[in-house]
Structure 1
Amino acid sequence: MKLFKIQSLILISIAFVLGCSEYMIVGILDNLAKQFQSSISQIGYLVTGFALVYAISTPLITLTIGKKSLYQTLLILLSIFIIGNLLTVFANSYLVLALSRFITAASSGACIAVALAFANFIAPLKKRGWLVSWVFSGFSIASVFGIPFGTWVSSNYGWRYSFAAIVLVSLLILISSILILPKNIHQKSSKNLKEQLNIFADRRIQVSMLLPMFNLAGIYVFYTYLEPILSHILLIKANSLTLALFLYGLMALLSNQLSGQIATRAGLRIMPEIYIGQFLLLALFPVFTIMPMIGMMVIMLLGVSMYLLNSPIQIFFLTVAERDYPQAMVLASSLNSIFANIGIALGSATGSIATEYFGLDKIAPTGSIYVLFALALTLFLKHMVQLSPEHLGRFNKL
């Protein structure tokens, strides 16, 4: 049990450092814009590009894993991730910065997919939802501690030192992974790529994989520009900005922890009510910001709602794959990340366009449109399959 806890900590730490690297841009938009003499919206497109590369590269890489050692695969991906962030540290132009972010993105998606596959293999059935929620919480812990710390470092010493810290932590995680993670884990072998791709012919997968996309598209229209919203709309002073980002990160961490509870007790059945609440918060956001204190409370509530889908949908994907497509476990593990990042790309691009043409105060209502799509998909999926409140392991065969 002690070894399981240490291995779990390593997997959570991997998610943490991946989250720090992915989200860091959100906290240093202004600094990067000044460094490379670009507009905030142009720097915001780095978030879009990162997410697109992440989403495109992840299935291509996971499909090639086959019966290869997940241990060796994870070490290779972590090494590429470190190289990408090291290139970011020394980027001397916007083009080099974008290239470094794309290298990092290409390794990040497959890396978290393999980490989640590890979680599925090493965790006892009763602990699976717990471990999956904590792996996702690694991203939220990055929001709580990594992003505010990186923002503070960037403001006081320069943004390059923020990514240098990511490189250092990543090296420590790589060494820990080499020493502690099990070396004999493989997914069931498949005859060819087509056998793995059969999972996409399943109607449950076809509908459910769109859920993470619209879920994060709605929130990322707003979240990509959280720092400018806090400083320019709610007029948060520079010395309080780190605290505000820290509080938002705490809400995101709470969101992932609640997500684990939802996966265990209610599954996807409760998501329609959550999406209705999220829609109202985004649609009415300009009204709430008339009073900064209320606006801040609404932002915190949006933080709580941000990741509630993560564990229920991840357990759903893994359950379908374990039962009907065991040769595609790593691919199934990546579906949430793949389509969540397509959603991030869609949402951040929409936010960039809305900011450029309508202003910061109009971007949140734009995101509410995507939330309506997520609501409709959840209701359709509920009618398509019988969602078990235990861990979604029982559903009608379609």
Structure 2
Amino acid sequence: MSHVETLSIERRRSIDPRIFLLTLGTFALGTDAFVVAGVLPAIAHDVGITEGVAGQLVTAFSLTYGIAAPLTAALTSRWSRNYVLVGSLLLFCLANVLSAIAPSFVMLMFSRILAGIFACTYVPLAYATAGSLAPEGKRGQAIALVVIGITIATALGSPFGTWIGEHFGWRQSFFLVVVLSGLASLGLIMGRLPKAAAAPSVSLRTRLEPMLKPRLVLALVPMFFCNIGVYAVYTYIAPLLHLNLPGVDVSGLLVLFGLGAMFGTIAAGRLVDRFRVNRLLMLFLSVLIVVEVLLALATAGNLMVALLALLIWGFLVSVVFVPQQERLLRLAPQHAQIMLALNNSMYYLGIATGSAVGGLSLRIVDVTQLVWIGGAGVLMALLLLLLSIRIERKTDIVEQ
């Protein structure tokens, strides 16, 4: 075999550099989704609202993402995938320009809704495009690379955006997202993605078909309540840390949460391959309840204990997601794609509801008391999981 042929084969087997641009796009989206929590006090002070009201910016983005995801997928299914992919990322970039220059809270809220719409349009297409660009035998690796963009955003993007917001103003945090998403958009335009035919149209009714089956709905809702519990606390983590550790740079602390999330994502895949997913979910949710309830105490006064608590908390929040996805695939393999899409919607609806519940709770309780509400949300997730497992076992016995 000639040297030229060898180079050609190696090039076909390597990861297409355009996949890294797709990952940059998900990194920008992930940074945008979580950075608001870090700069919440600054936004509230500058706009002249309470931190509880400011937290509804997270609600707006996540609620829009959760509701609009199946709708935008159905509406754009007949359009060119490349146009929708690049167009949604460009519009997401412009939505963040609007967030950065918004003269009022109403305009800022509107910009977060727009960002949620364009984000939920981009992400599934980024996964599909990565798979089509990958060489044979590396599709899973390519898709995982795009997925990890969001995880890295939790570990690095959100803390860095928070640091920028603390030192240069919260509007600059949104401009960071503008730069990241703008670079990814321009790179994808210049990279000339291969033409892709429009996917077969799937009606909204077909996408929501599993929601008509009570057993599958019950399997989906634990993720919803888990995220209510987590984000009732995480959305207001900046004021909690400012109260418990005055003078400490919150952005640095959030890096530990993000690193825990990265470790959790990496560990989850290996654990799912070795242990039963139901047992993993029961174990992680049980420990998460304890960690959430003790979080206010663990972050009070002692910096090292706070760092450890945030690392463990981030790990537990992240490690639950993969076993939940695997469980849904086993419960309804015939609805695999739709179930995973609905699980993603439940994920973001949980974030939206959690941030809303936390914000409303701050009207009557201190920020340190949010951990009890968070623990109650995760406890509800665990109880619903146990009920779902019990029904699943009874159904299996009847079918046998």
- Residue in structure 1 matching 2:177, options 166, 170, 181: 166
RMSD: 3.1
Once the 2 structures are TM-superposed, how far is the Cα of residue 66 of structure 1 from its aligned partner? 3.1
The residue that corresponds to 1:30 in the other structure is 41
Q: Give yes or no for contact 1:276–1:375 (8 Å, CA) kept in 2.
A: yes
What is the rounded CA distance, in whole Å, between the counterparts of 1:24 and 1:228 in structure 2?
A: 14
Change (3 A) 1:82 1:273: same
Instruction: Tell me how far apart the structure 1 counterparts of residues 152 and 214 of structure 2 sit (CA, whole Å).
Output: 34
Equivalent pair of 2:78/2:200 in contact (CA under 8 Å) = yes
Asked if 1:255 corresponds to 2:272, the answer is: no
For residue 120 of structure 1, report the CA deviation from its aligned partner. Answer: 5.9
Q: Is the Cα contact below 8 Å between 2:13 and 2:135 reproduced in 1?
A: no
Amino acid across the alignment from 1:38: I
TM-score scaled by length of structure 2: 0.84
The answer on whether the counterparts of 1:117 and 1:333 sit within 8 Å (CA) in structure 2 is: no
Q: Which residue among 351, 354, 357 is the counterpart of 2:358?
A: 351
Unaligned ranges ≥5, structure 2: 1-11
1-structure distance, mates of 2:273, 2:199: 25
CA distance in 1, matches of 2:399, 2:74: 25
Q: Residue 47 of structure 1: CA displacement? A: 1.1
| Residue in 2 that maps onto 1:243 | 252
Query: Aligned to 1:38, what secondary structure does the other structure show?
Result: coil
- Counterpart-to-counterpart distance in 2, 1:167 and 1:324: 39
Q: Does 1:43 align with 2:54?
A: yes
Tell me which residue corresponds to 2:237. Answer: 226
Query: Which amino acid is the alignment partner of residue 254 of structure 2?
Result: L
- Asked if the contact 2:43–2:54 (Cα under 8 Å) also holds between the matched residues in 1, the reply is yes
In the superposition, relative to structure 1, how do residues 288 and 262 fare at CA in structure 2: closer, same or farther (>3 Å)? same
Q: Quote the residue 2:188 is aligned against.
A: 177
In structure 2, relative to structure 1, the CA distance for the partners of 1:122 and 1:218 (3 Å cut) is farther
List aligned pairs for 1:140-155, cutoff 5 A. Answer: 140-155=151-166
Q: Point out the more displaced range, 173-182 or 49-58.
A: 173-182
The C-alpha deviation readout for 1:157-201, integer Å capped at 9, x for no partner, is: 2222222221121122113333264432654444x4433433433
**Cα contact 1:216–1:347 (8 A) shared by 2:** yes
2:347 maps to: 340
User: What amino acid does structure 2 have at the position aligned with 1:45?
Assistant: Q
**Contact 1:59–1:110, Cα closer than 8 Å, also in 2:** no
Q: What is the alpha-carbon distance in structure 1 between the residues aligned to residue 102 and residue 342 of structure 2?
A: 31
Trace 1:196-211 onto structure 2 (pairs within 5 A): 196-203=207-214, 205-211=216-222
**Residue 373 (str. 1) matches residue 385 (str. 2):** no
**TM-score (norm: length of structure 1):** 0.85
Paired residue total: 384
**Identity across the alignment (%):** 27
Deviation at 1:14? 2.2
Structure number with bigger Rg: 2
Structure 2 residue aligned with 1:389: none
Alignment-derived partner of residue 324 in structure 1: 334
- Whether contact under 8 Å (2:285, 2:320) holds in the other structure is no
For structure 1, list consecutive stretches of 5 or more residues without a partner in the other structure: 387-395
Q: 1:362 and 2:369 equivalent? A: yes
Q: Which whole-Å CA distance do the structure 2 matches of 1:19 and 1:324 have between them?
A: 30
Q: How far apart in 2 are the matches of 1:72 and 1:209?
A: 32
Q: Work out the CA distance in 2 between the residues paired with 1:4 and 1:211.
A: 36
> Distance between the aligned counterparts of 2:148 and 2:257, measured in 1?
14
- Native 8 Å contact 2:256 2:310 kept in 1: no
Range with bigger deviation, 123-132 or 81-90: 123-132
The CA deviation at 1:325 is: 4.2
> What letter is aligned with 2:172?
Y
- Distance between the aligned counterparts of 2:277 and 2:98, measured in 1? 40
Q: Tell me, what secondary structure is at the counterpart of 1:306?
A: helix
Give the Cα–Cα distance (whole angstroms) in 1 for the partners of residues 298 and 179 of structure 2: 41
Cα-to-partner distance string for 1:340-376 (whole Å, 9 max, x where unaligned): 1111111112211232311011111211111112212
Change beyond 3 A, Cα 1:39–1:378: same
Comparing 105-114 with 16-25, greater Cα deviation is found at 105-114
Aligned mates of 2:76, 2:276 — CA distance in 1: 30
CA contact (8 A) 1:27 1:148 kept: yes
Q: Measure the CA separation in 2 of the matches of 1:92 and 1:180.
A: 37
User: Is residue 2:281 matched to residue 1:271?
Assistant: yes
